[in-house]
Structure formats: C-alpha cells, structure tokens
Amino acid sequence: MNVRSVAHSLISMACALTIVMALPLSATKNRPEDSHAIPAVLSVEHRVVSFWRDGVRLKGSVFKPSGLTAEQKLPGILMVHGWGGNRANLNRAYAAQFAELGFVVMTFDVRGWGESDGFFLASDTAATAGGITSEPSSGAQMLVREIREVVDPLEMLHDTHAALAWFTAEPNLQADNLGIWGTSLGGALAIVTAARNSRINAIVTQVGAVNSKANFAMIPDDMVEVWESQRARGEIPPYPGPESALPGLRGYPDLIAMKRFDPAAEWQSVNVPTLIIDAEDEELFDRKVNGDALYRALQGRVPTEYLVLPGTHYSLYKEAGYSAALQAAQAWFVRHLQ
C-alpha cells in the first residue's frame, strides 16, 4: 500500500473535515430548550493580530463588543477551523455572532493556511514532492522554500495551543473563563485542547471527526512505521505534496500525522460541559464512532448534550442547519460561561 492509494481511499472521510463557506441566515427555533435567555445583540469591533509559534508568524482576528472600558472583563471563545478552512470563514459566519452576545472571540489561521506563514525548508534540501534541489547556501542568510496547505493535525494542535496562549493575555478577557468551538477537524482539535487546558470551561464540537483512530483504521500501523522510516532517511519528502492530494479537496494531508493523532485518547480527560452537534444523515464518516461515541463517553460524568440536526454533513453550514447549529452553540456558551 503506498501513499497515493491510501490517500484516494480516504476521500470520503477526509471531506468530512472540510469547512465550507457559509453566510449568516435568519434565526430558527430549532435549538435545545435553554433557561438562559440570549443577551441583547451588541455592536462589535474587531482587529487583525499576529502571534508566534516556533519562530513562525500566525495570523488571527479578535472580536469583542464595542466600547469596553479597561476594567470590563468578558468570557472568551477560541474558534478552530477545519481541513482546508481558514479564519475568514469563521469571521464571516460565526465570530461576530458570538461577540454580539457579550464574548471576546478569537479566530486564527493554522500554519500554512489563510494569512499564516507556512513551513520553511532550506533551499539546499530536496524537500518538495517534485524533488526540486538548489545549490547549498552559506553565511548568515539562507534561501528558504515555504511549504503551504499541509494538513497535519499534530501541527495544527500546537498552533491551537499557541493561539490559546496569546488569547489568554488579551485585555477585557476573563482568562480563566473560556470556551472553545471547533468544526470538522477543528472539532477534534477543540476536544484535545480543552482536555489539556484548565482555563477552558465549555466546548462545542460541530460535525467533528473526533475519533481519528477509527476513521483512519484502513491505514495499517506497520505501514505508518515504514513511512516514518522512509521520511527520516530522506526517501520520501518531509512534507506531503501533490502525490497525497485528494481530488476535489484542497491541501495535502500528512497521513503519518493523521494516523498518529488520537483525540479519542483524550475523551476521559474532558471535564467541562460539552455540546456535540452532528448531522442526522452524516455521510462522510461514521458518527456512531465519532460524536455519538464521544457523547456516551462523557454522559453522566460532565454536562453534555448530543444535538443531531436533520440533513447531511454540509447541511450544517447553510440555511436551517447553519442557523440551528449556531443558535445551539450560542445558547451553550451563554449557559456555561456567562
């Protein structure tokens, strides 16, 4: 089994991790009953920010109600996009809608996506899938090649932790009273981040592929070990390129990292209220071993709800599905953070 054959076998599952662009729509009444009324809508201001991880510049956006004084502190929400997504999608369809309710909200682009810098390799390294090489450089300066649009959940997890570290120092933020929201692959990143950070007090995962071991079971463990050895010896590129591309899906999945990423191993460490939102007719992965299994793992131990909305995976990014999922998430954060 080679990288290309495995990649093509993962098309349906990987598409589940894609975030599509969504436009805000009118509210619906299709949300869980909630005794906490949604606050009045506030005007919102936002700014673009930069933060750093391992010497690489990442970009984010911060949304908050307008006119806050230095003394005013509000709960926060960190939002995590999915495979092939970027913060522009979240900014348009979700971030301001949460900030209007009295939250400080941060979105960000993971490394190599949106406006964030990518991975860098010295130009004298045969580092690309095309096998391009250059003359070695010397001296204090070095030519480098930027690698972009790699889908590596382990690296994305580190980026999420860096975003959280930056966010907790934001003025007007109650740094110990945070929520985290993630969609698709971002849902899995949200679960792991919350499990490892005591400042997060509520979680929303939306159509999250939260059980990578089950989702990538078609990749044998011994094949991953072979790939790791080949990569260490320079027999395959250090980053995936066009050879791993999936038709119709943007980006280059790192299948070694996909196999090594194990959010289900963190489920027992989640100890905060968790809302799991899935599509009833989810066609791109088995929700029984993802959202449903996560719900059963948390049920009776922490406050949790499993909201299954009508439609297929992409129904939650448009029209009634979008509105229902957004309203449910808003109500969850109001209930558990405000």
Tokens of 219: 């990749």
Contact call for residues 119 and 150 (beta carbons, < 8 A):
yes
3-state DSSP of the chain: CCHHHHHHHCHHHHHCCECCCCCCCCCCCCCCCCCCCCCCCCCEEEEEEEEEECCEEEEEEEEEECCCCCCCCEEEEEEECCECCCHHHHHHHHHHHHHCCCCEEEEECCCCCCCCCCEEEECCCCCCCCCCCCCCCCCCCCCEEEECCEECHHHHHHHHHHHHHHHCCCCCEEEEEEEEEEECHHHHHHHHHHHHCCCEEEEEEECCCCCHHHHCCCCCHHHHHHHHHHHHCCCCCCCCCHHHCCCCCCCEECHHHHHHCCHHHHHHHCCCCEEEEEECCCCCCCHHHCHHHHHHHHCCCCCEEEEEECCCHHHHHCHHHHHHHHHHHHHHHHHHHC
What was the pLDDT predicted at 250? 83
Q: In what order do the strands lie in the sheet with 74-80?
A: 44-53, 56-65, 104-108, 74-80, 173-183, 200-206, 274-279, 304-309
What was the pLDDT predicted at 259? 95
Contact call for residues 42 and 67 (beta carbons, < 8 A):
no
* Most confident option among 30-39, 68-77, 135-144: 68-77
274-332 per-position pLDDT tens digit: 999 999 999 888 999 999 999 999 999 999 999 999 998 889 999 999 999 999 999 99
What was the pLDDT predicted at 133? 46
Say how far residue 135 (Cα) sits from the centre of its chain.
38
Whole-prediction pTM value? 0.85
What was the pLDDT predicted at 134? 44
What was the pLDDT predicted at 228? 96
Q: Is the pLDDT reported for residue 15 higher than 50? A: no
Alpha-carbon torsion, ordered 108, 129, 9, 246, to 10 deg = 50
Q: Is the pLDDT reported for residue 72 higher than 90? A: yes
Higher per-residue pLDDT: 251 or 131: 251
Q: Is the pLDDT reported for residue 242 higher than 50? A: yes
What was the pLDDT predicted at 240? 94
CA dihedral (218, 224, 226, 227) positive or negative: positive
Average pLDDT over the chain, rounded to an integer:
86
Domain boundaries, the chain: 3-116+150-337
What was the pLDDT predicted at 243? 86
Write phi, then psi, for 319 (nearest 5 degrees): 50, -135
Q: Is the pLDDT reported for residue 116 higher than 60? A: yes
193-238 per-position pLDDT tens digit: 999 999 999 999 999 999 999 999 999 999 999 999 999 999 999 9
Higher per-residue pLDDT: 137 or 194: 194
Q: Is the pLDDT reported for residue 272 higher than 90? A: yes
Q: Is the pLDDT reported for residue 140 higher than 70? A: no
Instruction: Label residue 228 exposed, middle or buried (CB < 10 Å: 0-12, 13-18, 19+).
Output: middle
- For domain 3-116+150-337, which CATH number applies: 3.40.50.1100, 3.40.630.30, 3.30.470.20, 3.40.50.1820? 3.40.50.1820
- The percent of residues above 90 in pLDDT, for the chain, comes to 75
- Residue 149's nearest CA partner among 109, 91, 93, 192 is 109
What was the pLDDT predicted at 138? 52
Tokens of 166: 């930056």
User: Cα separation of 315 and 16, whole Å?
Assistant: 12
The stretch 15-21 carries a mean pLDDT of: 37
299 contacts: CB under 8 Å, gap ≥ 6: none
Contact call for residues 85 and 18 (beta carbons, < 8 A):
yes
CA dihedral (214, 155, 46, 332) positive or negative: positive
The stretch 64-73 carries a mean pLDDT of: 96
Q: Is the pLDDT reported for residue 3 higher than 60? A: no
How far apart, in Å, are the Cα atoms of 314 and each of 136, 154, 191, 273? 47, 25, 21, 25
pLDDT band at 36 (very low <50, low <70, confident <90, very high): low
Contact call for residues 165 and 108 (beta carbons, < 8 A):
no
146-200 per-position pLDDT tens digit: 999 999 999 999 999 999 999 999 999 999 999 999 999 999 999 999 999 999 9
